[in-house]
Structure 1
């Protein structure tokens, strides 16, 4: 160990010139660039990368300076409490305002994903939640989440916890090993440099353009933050000429202009704005650029930067949705910026600043609890306490959003719909449909999943390719209908086959057959050459067919068509790989019932569009306006009919009239909301088709394959 001073003689780490007010101004400029590019350009600017670097510079620098103090405390609560008081109040206010705005004026933004994002935001894990949701960072539009920008706050919060832990380790080493500030620098510096290099290499592993997962990942972003800590440690040895600062500001400003691809960040291209910030830091504060950054306006921007970042995006998305525009127009963008600046200033003055921890971080000789109690005898102290109680109440309320949405969805899923008022698909065949509000409500339909998904009987994308929850029908937890019946119906395929479990479950309990699911997310059953499913799906499908043949069911039910275009644009076709599955069943004398796939919803521009959002946006009387034209999704005749008619044990069911009239495929039929999302049907509507499905299934189960005359399904 190198020689050092005694504990009583240790000195703190050498200071930089003074507190860098110009870097506060730079932080404001960086966030201003973020706002401008979000609002007017529709892409990222590199400003967040600068913001993260400065966060690392200030926060890690403060932790390292504190660690070298001879009276530093090892209590982790105080730095964590300081961070909570700095970050949570403004976040809670903005999140609460956003949730209320969505509930009151833009219900089309309500989704189960958004409900989970609220919880993840207040828990500072939104970046990981977005990765789990496979959410790409979208430009401002009615389809973007009003909370997606908070991923960076989550990365920052996670880093603060790491930095506090790192600082406490250094504090412990200084106390137990009698280390000086220089000793701590020799330990901390190489460690931070190593993390920076490893994280940067990880961020760059995909080359110049990365992935959404890399964009949000704390591991990919860590280098920007730890590089700030490295600069805080070594800036006194790395001085650059004064002209470097204006060059650095120019690099930051130009990033959003010359870089158009979002997912180049935080890889090598992120060096452009980050290098600009490094140049500003290392050129000191005595230059023209730094003087401009300490102007009153720049410092004001720096003060409100955090709140400005919080406010601008939800305002932009909510107002865009409220005006019914697909993209925000310029006038709306100007209004958003003005409102964001005003709200940010008010939030800084009345939330951030009053509730922030202004006193220095406590040392072992301080008594912060006693001082806090004493402050309650004065009006400012009482006001802060009341403010803290208010923020705590907001946080508690926010934590109820996700379970509250789940409860609404569960209640809607359990709601028994009277067929006299909610005939659903039967309204297409003459059943009376009196005026009644659509059920389930379009706002909660997306949160109601078919039974196999709820019961872990649907195999998800990341699960093994040899997983079959209903192994040969032996696991009663994944058997539906009459679980004790001898007759067996298999429902097989991907998520588009899954909703048909609902009417089959009802029919099985009524008519005495069990329903065995062989379902995997995004995995229709294909054999041989196919249209391009994943290798995992291909392997799983081969195993599923083996299991089905061994089970020897009375009937196998699945979807028989798919849209020509991946986004749902028709006409519908029989994809390559489907027929070989049917042929294999036929060779084994297993009866197959092929259901023509439901239409996928499109807007007037033939782009994918969730009809429920349209209903929420335009109102319940806008069914026709939110409908998809039949000609855009369906061929004139069921394309599976000609194929399946060539097999002895196969039957095709043209379901198109279940979903569509002669011209339109509406999102509400017989007072039942048809869709769960853009391309999956709701449980309630699927269940309403039970009489239609039974007409086609009954002859197959009883051995009579002739279609009944004058059946309901043939009356059109």
Structure 2
């Protein structure tokens, strides 16, 4: 993100600049310019540092599929230039002009950022799969007002949203967090200057250090508790900008020898380049792990301040190719991600590859150069500082285009959604799983059900009722389905793969007047399971929840417990030891358990694949032997007359393959969760296989 963090007029000026002027009202109401604030000279190495940051971001996104820490470099540079400038203003003028600061920030940001959003709003309906429309429409609005980070923060803690394909706007989270952080720190500095009246540099530095410390402590705590949320949390990021401001105020008091500056600068650059390789940034940041790239960037800024060094890193960073790339880095950050999403969507790939990635990069650079010259250069440069109307008109035009695109797009999405929701899944046209036992010809000329837009909402009732526990939660949430005065209880327990059997169970037990279903479910937490792939805080929450669940079951003693029996761990289908341990505790107490073999996990978003490639495309079909073992792993579990295993995998996979659509019904609403519509078509077979088990529990009574 470039030039949004430059002091006004920093581009193209010589190394010694006159600085910033402060406008103050005179007694007669006129405005007098009376204060000149000295600002640092031009440093080409800062442009080069921006170039390194954007190269890391783009390369990791396009070819590596990870997060690099390059965004954190931008944050430090922003704090160094903008917060440093405001700190010097507070020291020299004893106040901070928030209105002027916000105006300049808007002039830097709005033209380019809103232009990219407008292009996406007007073009995405023609190339983006319909199943992503609703999410992207919401993100268009969030990105336009710099709230994308909070939108993603809330989506990140929703388990059902974690497998969604990235939108062309999700990279706006960093821009949103940056704007919010800068405004918060600027307001804090303004308030501090107002309270202290004549703050010294030492006092301002102490204030910024305090902001840095408080935010860092909050960031470390938040990351340990809920990293997915903290990653986008503005308050967990403020310390990075404060650190940049602290760095800007330190150089006068730091005396480094040329050798120290040379070694420190190169160590900083190597640390930045190695960060994304050695740390899984997306799952470790922004806590103490983010000190790696931020301190490295701060070291480069400190070591680059002063006379040029023959072998200093500033000579590399100040090279013309890097400074040119740094000059378009803001636009390049804005463009590279939507261009990548566009390419991956149309080519239906998950990785760009060498040739495709080079194409994405070239197109992004060209668009970035044009945006910088025609949009940023047209309304946000020094020569237009006295033409605020130009910026206002440009922003208004972009917002009008965004609003028009949203209005048209939202209307089209609404019409398609209404059609899909009104579609009746009758047995004749949408037999679903019944065609497995009763093969017959089903017309494929009609649309599949559920459709691409409504598929993700075709799930179990527990999500709408709010009684499915989240990844971090550990308390028992419960819903009850069926007659309140029912004397017999089936407890549905476990993770989301237990949940997606609820629609079929509701159909089965709706036929019994004396049965009701009680649910105890939690995201990614099967009965007795602690997923190896989950973060430590999620595994710990799962363990606590499991213990409370078993205690509740042993106390209430339901007539039946329905759960899953297998799990795919590191690509291998198995029955985890934790499952068996909990089963033994329950069956020893006389509780009958129905354990269902888990359904297949696809490696791609099934509804999107079907929408793009068609229901019969080989791209949307997986080989059975890649997702299921030849026989169920439960075959090795010791027999127990109260433990009943069911295996419905033949209703999800035929002899050699697992299709995405069966009997005109879409089987999955994401990568591995089964639609409620398809589950209901399994109810007759499930009822038949449960009938004998239900009879086994008759006469046991409730204790």
TM-score in same-fold range (> 0.5): yes
**How far is the alpha carbon of 1:438 from its aligned partner?**
2.1
Look up the match of 1:336.
360
> Residue 448 and residue 329 in structure 1: after superposition, are their counterparts in 2 closer, same or farther (change >3 A)?
same
Q: How does 1:17-32 map to 2 (within 5 A)?
A: 18=41, 20=43, 23-24=46-47, 26-28=49-51, 30-32=53-55
Instruction: Tell me, in whole angstroms, the C-alpha distance in 2 between the residues paired with 1:284 and 1:170.
Output: 36
The 5 Å alignment of 1:153-232 reads 153-173=175-195, 177=197, 179=198, 183-196=199-212, 218=234, 221-232=237-248
Say whether the 8 Å CA contact 2:660–2:668 is kept in structure 1.
Answer: yes
Structure 2 residue aligned with 1:620, among 615, 618, 621?
615
Q: Which runs of 5+ in 2 are unaligned?
A: 1-23, 27-31, 158-162, 282-288, 699-703
Q: 1:261 aligns with which of 270, 278, 298?
A: 278
Q: Distance in 2 between matches of 1:520 and 1:633?
A: 23
Counterpart residue number, 2:545: 540
Q: What count of residue pairs does the alignment treat as equivalent?
A: 647
Report how far residue 426 of structure 1 moved: 0.9
**Post-superposition CA distance 1:116-143 (Å, at most 9, x none):** 65555445454555555559xxxxx996
Q: CA deviation at 1:489?
A: 2.8
Matched-pair contact (CA < 8 Å) for 1:562–1:575:
yes
Distance across 1 between alignment mates of 2:218 and 2:673: 37
Distance 1:185 1:206 in 2: 31
Could you say if the C-alpha distance between residues 197 and 33 of structure 1 is closer, same or farther in structure 2, counting changes exceeding 3 Å?
same
C-alpha spacing 1:224/1:461, structure 2 compared with 1 (3 Å): closer
Alignment deviations for residues 332-376 of structure 1 (CA, whole Å, 9 cap, x no partner)? 233222211221122223333444486999xxxxxx9xx97xxxx
Distance 1:425 1:254, change over 3 A: same
Q: Is 2:177–2:237's contact at 8 Å kept on the other side of the alignment?
A: yes
Q: Contact 1:644–1:650 (CA<8 Å) still a contact in 2?
A: no
Rounded to whole Å, the distance in 1 between the matches of 2:626 and 2:64 is: 32
Pick from 342, 351, 374 the counterpart of residue 318 of structure 1: 342
Q: Secondary structure at the match of 1:537?
A: helix
2:688 is aligned with 1:690: no
After superposition, the Cα gap between the structure-2 partners of 1:87 and 1:591, relative to the gap in structure 1 and judged at 3 Å, is same
Once the 2 structures are TM-superposed, how far is the Cα of residue 48 of structure 1 from its aligned partner? 3.4
**Residues 220-257 of structure 1, C-alpha deviation per residue, up to 9 Å, x if partnerless?**
64444223323433545557678888777755654565
Is the CA contact 2:118–2:398 (under 8 Å) kept in the aligned structure 1? Answer: no
Counterpart position of 1:490: 491
Task: Using the TM superposition, name which of 549-558 and 408-417 deviates more.
Answer: 408-417
Determine the C-alpha separation between the residues in 1 that align with 2:302 and 2:418.
52
- Separation in 1, partners of 2:393, 2:469: 49
Corresponding residue for residue 652 of structure 1:
645
Which residue is equivalent to 1:87?
A: 109
Please name the residue that 1:630 is paired with.
Answer: 624
**Alpha-carbon offset, residue 598 of structure 1:** 1.2
| Alpha-carbon distance in 2 for matches of 1:68, 1:104 | 53
Distance apart, 1:204 and its partner CA: 8.3
Whether 2:325 is the aligned partner of 1:301: answer: yes
Q: Cα–Cα, structure 1 residues 245 and 44, in superposed 2: closer, same or farther, change >3 Å? A: farther
CA distance in 1, matches of 2:72, 2:350: 28
How far apart are the structure 2 equivalents of 1:514 and 1:505? 9
1:55 aligns with 2:78: yes
Q: Cα 1:245–1:403, aligned 2, differ >3 Å: closer, same or farther?
A: farther
Show the counterpart of 2:467: 457
The question of whether the paired residues in 1 share the 8 Å contact of 2:80 and 2:244 is answered with yes
Structure 1 residues 96 and 455 mapped into 2: Cα distance closer, same or farther (>3 Å)? farther
**Alignment check: 8 A CA contact 1:22 1:290 kept:** yes
> 1:11, 1:68 within 8 Å by CA — same for their partners in 2?
no
SS of corresponding position for 1:518? strand
Alignment deviations for residues 631-669 of structure 1 (CA, whole Å, 9 cap, x no partner) = 33334444446758631x443322122111111111111
**1:340-489 pair list within 5 angstroms:** 340-356=364-380, 381=389, 384-394=391-401, 396=403, 416-430=424-438, 432=440, 433-435=442-444, 436-442=446-452, 444-465=454-475, 467-469=476-478, 478-483=479-484, 485-489=486-490
**Structure 1 counterpart SS, 2:433:** helix
Give secondary structure in 1 for the equivalent of 2:645.
strand
| Bigger mean CA deviation after superposition, 535-544 or 160-169 | 535-544
CA shift in 2, pair 1:537/1:388, >3 Å: closer
Calculate the TM-score normalised by the size of structure 2: 0.77
1:276-310 C-alpha deviation (Å, 9 max, x unpaired): 23322344799998798778766653442211111
User: Contact 1:37 / 1:44 at 8 angstroms: preserved in 2?
Assistant: yes
Conserved in 1, the CA contact under 8 Å of 2:131 and 2:607? no
Task: Report the more deviating stretch, 288-297 or 302-311.
Answer: 288-297
Q: Do structure 1's residue 609 and structure 2's residue 609 form an aligned pair?
A: no
TM-superposed CA distance for 1:422, in Å, is 1.0
Cα distance in 2, alignment partners of residues 403 and 47 from structure 1: 38
Mapped partners of 1:261, 1:44: distance in 2? 11
RMSD after superposition: 4.7
Q: CA deviation at 1:700?
A: 4.4
Give the Cα–Cα distance (whole angstroms) in 1 for the partners of residues 317 and 414 of structure 2.
Answer: 48
Summarize the Cα distance change of 1:423–1:204 in structure 2 as closer, same or farther, 3 Å threshold. closer
Structure 1 residue 275: deviation in Å? 1.4
8 Å CA contact 1:224–1:274 kept in 2: the answer is: no
Query: Secondary structure at the residue paired with 2:492?
Result: strand
Residues of 2 paired with 1:292 and 1:577: CA distance?
55
Instruction: Give the Å deviation of 1:108.
Output: 8.9
Aligned to 1:524: 526
1:430–1:45 distance in 2 versus 1, CA, 3 Å = closer
Q: Secondary structure at the match of 1:522?
A: coil
| TM-score where L is the length of structure 1 | 0.75
In structure 1, list runs of 5 or more residues that go unmatched. Answer: 1-5, 136-140, 362-367, 373-380, 470-477, 602-607, 706-716
Confirm or deny that 1:560 pairs with 2:584: no
Deviation at 1:160, TM superposition (A): 1.2
Secondary structure of the residue aligned to 2:593 is strand
